[in-house]
Structures are given as structure tokens and as C-alpha cells.
Structure 1
């Protein structure tokens, strides 16, 4: 769900667009790595590494696309309004109820437990580069108005959202110290289904305890479908990341709000099979080092051996996590290795995930588009990764990308202009 801004309406993922209405479901069990991956010799490994080093000397600056839109985007740097994605993020978690929907006695623990996995996700995926410190309200905070006074329909305005957050802050202020808070999280009781969904604003404009609060997230009734990963998704917006689902489904595929990126990133389908952050998003956030990015030279062949992106946070900085091939001043092709590890443990098909990034495309309009290796399959984009022994030709440049198994669960990618 994307952010609220002054004078703009909130837009959110239509309820009917979700594939899973229960808590986040990661799908089937792990997919085994290709048998050939374990057979490549150490000599071949050395040769591959040497080839990669010789053929990928292009500076990563040539692949670090500049931001081309205001607000949430896919370029560098992230929007100036974004919170830092490294260091400590101090969050105030306010659990609120209403006179028309009071929270039942003993329900606070369930509410806390539902969102806690989102904090764990952020810290794990960032490799500890983001430390989330959460201080919760001491019990349920009673809002000054009934739940029906807050119009959480799909047309919720920025002013409506700021009023809701401001009321929560004011109601808690007598017992809560906001003086050192970076972001306010407001979680409504499960008894208030008309607080329907979970918008974010990076333009809060509320002051408490001398602190000008600018970032806030509302967790509405949909948190009980998404589980804790909704917290990580919405926090992604406060850090500057865009929505990868489509605000409008393609005319040729009505109802498919996930036609661009499928479930391959948490900023798309929250309950998708592969909710790891894409390598590109990790790079934007500073969770991926420049040394882990291979910037292909369009003038010569590039070879890279990629480790699973889910392990990039714990890998040495010299182990490659993605290869980037520039197409224009705002577009690149990215290849990363997705395997059934980490938050990708439920993916239907592992392999080389290929996608384009266009920094001139706004949030919710497809800034990231996954290339489907099996177009027309019943699994949609769930089986999009390219298997070893396959290839793909980039249509605008004619560059040929070939995919091969590497040692262990690595993928070897070769790009020939």
C-alpha cells in the first residue's frame, strides 16, 4: 500500500487482488538445486572467477541509475524524505481501540505477535545494517472518536490519514515519550474491521514532545491477512521504496495487479512466494555493497557467478549478488540468483531471475518488470527464473544472456552484447 502525501489520494492494493487471504503463505517446500551445480570442478570455478574479474571492470557508477521521479522510486539516491535504511530506526508502536470497538481484555499480546515478524524480517534481510528499536504503548490507547469517524475507504485522503495518526499520538502523549521517535506505527484493534487497510505517509507533520514527526504507518484490518510482513512492506515505503504491484491492472489481463513483478519482492505481493527484497532494492538501501554488484560493459562480454540473493547480507562483499546491464540513462536489466533459502524457501522454481528497472516509471506503474522464462504457463510469474542451459535475448539491444549452473547453488551468467 503506498504512501499518503499532501493533496493526493491514497491508493492501495485492491482486496480482490490478493492470491492468499490468510496470513502470509510461502507455498510449497524447497526446490533442489540442479544436480549439475555440484559437479563443476574447482578448476572451472577458478576460470569462471578469473573471467568475471577480467570482464566486469566497468564501474558500478555506470549502473547506478539516477532518480528520475519524485517520491518513492527505483533510482539513486532515494527520495530526500526517506528515512535512513542503515543504523537505528526508532519506532513508536501505538495499539489503538475505539469506543465503538473496544479491544478485548488480553488481546494485546496477539496484536504484538502478529507484527513482530516484520521487524525480524527487516533486521535479517538487511544483515543487521538496520536495527529496529520498537517501543510499544503501555496497553490499548483509546482514540478520541469512534472508528467510523475515520473514512478508511479507498479514497482516504492525506488529511484524513494525518488526522487519524495525530489523534493516536495525542491520545498516547500523556504516557508516551515521542521525543526520540523516527516513525509512528499505529495498529488498530482487530475488532474494528472498518479500519480496513494499511497506508503509509512520509509527510505526517505532527509534533509531540518537541519532536516533529514526519513518518507514520497505519496497520488496519488487512494486517490479519498479511501477517508481520505488512510491517516490513510499509517500512520499505518509509525508507523510500516504491510499490511493485500495479495500481491499474493491464487491460489485456484484468484483475492481475501483479503482472509486472509477481511475488518476487516484498514491495509487490506481500504474500508472494518469494518475499525477499530484490537485489536492486537492497543496493538502493545500502544493504548490498558495490563490490557485490557486477556492472556489465555493453561493449564486451561479461561473466558473473551469482550467489543466492537471500544470502547476500551474510556473504563476503566480494561475492557477487547481481549483474546489471545498462540499456539507457533510466533503464537496466538485472539478473540475480533466487534459491529456496531464507524468505524464498517456498519458491516454485529457482534459477536466474531477470528483470528490468526503469527509474522514470513511478511507484505502482511497473518500475520493475520481471522477465518470464515460461510465458503463458499456468504459474504466471512464479516460474519466471531461467533454468541452467537456457538463454534470453534482450529485445532492444540484442544482447544475449546465457544461464548456467555454478558450484553449489550459484548461478553463472554470461552477457554477450
Structure 2
């Protein structure tokens, strides 16, 4: 069927009306210009997903999600604590309670830093368990092989199995008596592959002589690995600063330096573990000024919905600048400098190679990174983008951070 076009409505105007319109238009000076267009509305703030750097390396790292071999960081973590001694180095009588108490503060750290989102339940062996071989048969030194480590853990599990129920255990902790100094340090494995009481055990930490010096923070550091966090100290010191294995983050995160003055986990790692929420992350974009009022990182898990914990400014698909507020509260009570701690996160960098690097506000100072935070009233310019970050003091230890691209 052929469709007919509808007739166009008449646009005829009465002559008088047309003349009036012509006169009105003619009254406008020839030099007048059209009104400028209204300003463009500001761009919408980026979604928090724009700041959630995707994991770009396998294993332990700083991207999202954490490694699929990691234990859940939210909920209940059930740990078996096996106290072991040896024929050549038997434990002192009555020393078992001291060994349990020495590590208990590490479990408390995890619960406090998680804001109560992780509950750690520990079941200890009934006294010391005698290992089947002398301590010297386990070659504990840096570079301990996977096979020797698994043999040590397997021997401990087998020695305890008659009196210990492993059927409902998530992670095995093996601590050696302090009478055995050649069990020197405390490595972790997320690939144990041992079955006991019908339970396939995959995660274990063995505690050596270092935990008798540093206490429960060794447990908290090594447990960070079982939850998926990387080492933040450097496996190789930088050529320009040989011997400084802590040149990347100093003592500003427990995954970097156990004895550091500021051992709180970075806000970034709390986000990775689900210990702070998306609405606590302020994602800054490249085309608008962004401001946030940050609570001290030690209080980021307090029951205050939406409390800002950090500002994230993406630099690329794998890199971002992060700002958090460090104040002498919580596990940071011993820090000497306070203010805005600025660091870069690179999700393409492996554990021990510097996936996180702190920006030093006082480069060249005698205190290294101990005085790295930017004081209230100062600013910093990101060198690759030119974005200016300013820091101002707020009430109750809060810090106002503004990012101006």
C-alpha cells in the first residue's frame, strides 16, 4: 500500500505580526553576540571499581581478588596450635603455657585490626609433642625447601594425631620450643597437602626462634600470608642502598617490618581482605577535584558506616596512589610522625619486589621512612600526572585530603 505524506501545517503569519517580529529583531544591535553556552556539569565521581586494581600476578599480591589459595579473612578462622620439642632439645618443664601466651597476642591483633570481622579460635595441643627426629634433621635456614618444610609440618601433625582432632581445622600452627635455637625462623605455606582425621589441610605456619623475640606479631605477619597478603620488605635491597631491605615501606605495615613503630595493616590491605567497605574508599578521578575526611587507619573498622578510610587515585590499570591517615592510636601508638601517609600500589609487582612503596615527605632525612607522613598543612604533587594532593587537619584526629588533578 502506498502511504501518502501528511500535509505540512501552514506557517503563514498575519502581516502585522510578521512586521512586529521584524522590528523587534531589527532592534538588536549588530554587535551583540549569542549568549555563551551553560557550563558543562562536573563529571560524575568514578565508581569505586575504577580504584579496585585487578590482580596482575599469581600468588600473593596487592590486587583484587586475593589469591584463590588464601583463607577467608571474614568469619571464623580455626587454628590448631601444636607445641613441639625434640630429643636433642626438650622443652623446659611447665613452659607450654608461655608458648601459647606468646602467640595469643597475634590472634588478638588479627581480630582487632579486622574490626571484629575475623574471629580466631585456637585449640592448642595438650602440652609438648615430641617430634620423631632431632631438631638438627630439619634444615631451617633461609631458603628452606618446600619438601623439608612439609616434612617438618607432617611430622608434627603425625606426632599429635593420636590426641588431637584435626577434622575441623583451617590452619595449622607449629611452634618449636625456645630450647631449639636451630629452628630459626617462621615460614608459611598455603600448599601443605596433608590429610588428618579426614580433613585436607592446606595452610600452615611454623614458628621458630624469631617468635620468641618478636612475640605474637610474627603470627600476625605470617597469618597475613595465609590470608593472601604479600611481603612488603624487599627480598633484594636496592643497589643504591645496599642492606636496606625495608626501603619500600619502612615500618608502616606489619607485612613490611614486624618491629616497626607503625605495624597497623595498610588501609589498602584491609580493603583487600574485606575489613573495610567500598563506601569507605574515596575514589578520585582525573577530571574533578575530590575531597575526603579520613579517620585514623587504626579506627577504620569502628562501627561507623561510611567512615572514610582512604583516598585512591588511579594512575594506570595496575597502579594507584593511596592516602591514609596515620595517628598514634591502636597499634600505631608508637609512631613518631603523624599525618597523611602516601604510598603507591602496583598490582603487577610480586611479593618481596615492592608492590607497595611509601612516598617520603622528607627524603634524605636521617630517620628514613619513619617520618614519611605529610603533616597537616602540607601538600604533594604526583609527578606523573601533576595532580596536587593537599592535607588539612580535622577534628578528633581526622584528616581532610583534597586531590586536584
Tell me the TM-score normalized by structure 1. Answer: 0.86
Alignment check: 8 A CA contact 1:56 1:294 kept:
no
Question: Within 1, Cα distance between the matches of 2:108 and 2:183?
Answer: 25
Q: Shift of the alpha carbon at 1:316?
A: 1.2
Q: Secondary structure at the match of 2:103?
A: helix
Q: Shift of the alpha carbon at 1:351?
A: 0.1
2:388 aligned with 1:400, yes or no? yes
Extract unaligned runs of 5+ from structure 2.
Answer: 1-41
Which deviates further from its counterpart, 334-343 or 152-161? 152-161
2:377 aligned with 1:415, yes or no? no
* RMSD of aligned Cα (Å): 1.0
Alignment check: 8 A CA contact 2:43 2:287 kept:
no
Larger radius of gyration: 2
For residue 43 of structure 1, what is the aligned residue in structure 2? none
For residue 35 of structure 1, what is the aligned residue in structure 2? none
1:57-101 CA-partner distances (Å, limit 9, x unpaired): 321100000000000000000000000000000000000000000
For residue 230 of structure 1, what is the aligned residue in structure 2? 218
Q: Secondary structure at the match of 1:380?
A: coil
For residue 113 of structure 1, what is the aligned residue in structure 2? 101
**Superposed, which structure 2 residues align to 1:7-46 within 5 Å?**
none
2:344 aligned with 1:377, yes or no? no
Question: Within 2, Cα distance between the matches of 1:298 and 1:243?
Answer: 30
For residue 239 of structure 2, what is the aligned residue in structure 1? 251
2:378 aligned with 1:358, yes or no? no
1:128-178 CA-partner distances (Å, limit 9, x unpaired): 100001000001000000000000011210000000000000000000000
Number of positions where the alignment pairs a residue of Structure 1 with one of Structure 2: 364
Question: Within 1, Cα distance between the matches of 2:269 and 2:304?
Answer: 19
Q: Shift of the alpha carbon at 1:408?
A: 2.2
Q: Secondary structure at the match of 1:119?
A: helix
2:89 aligned with 1:101, yes or no? yes
Q: Shift of the alpha carbon at 1:55?
A: 8.6
Q: Shift of the alpha carbon at 1:319?
A: 1.3
**4+ runs deviating over 6 angstroms:** none
2:304 aligned with 1:309, yes or no? no
**Superposed, which structure 2 residues align to 1:57-206 within 5 Å?**
57-206=45-194
Q: Secondary structure at the match of 1:329?
A: coil
Q: Secondary structure at the match of 1:383?
A: coil
Greater RCO (Cα-Cα under 8 Å, separation 6 or more) = 1
Q: Shift of the alpha carbon at 1:406?
A: 1.3
For residue 367 of structure 1, what is the aligned residue in structure 2? 355
1:249-299 CA-partner distances (Å, limit 9, x unpaired): 111111111000000001000010000000000000000000100001111
Question: Within 2, Cα distance between the matches of 1:303 and 1:271?
Answer: 33
For residue 341 of structure 1, what is the aligned residue in structure 2? 329
Residues 273/85 of structure 1: CA separation in 2 closer, same or farther (3 Å cut): same
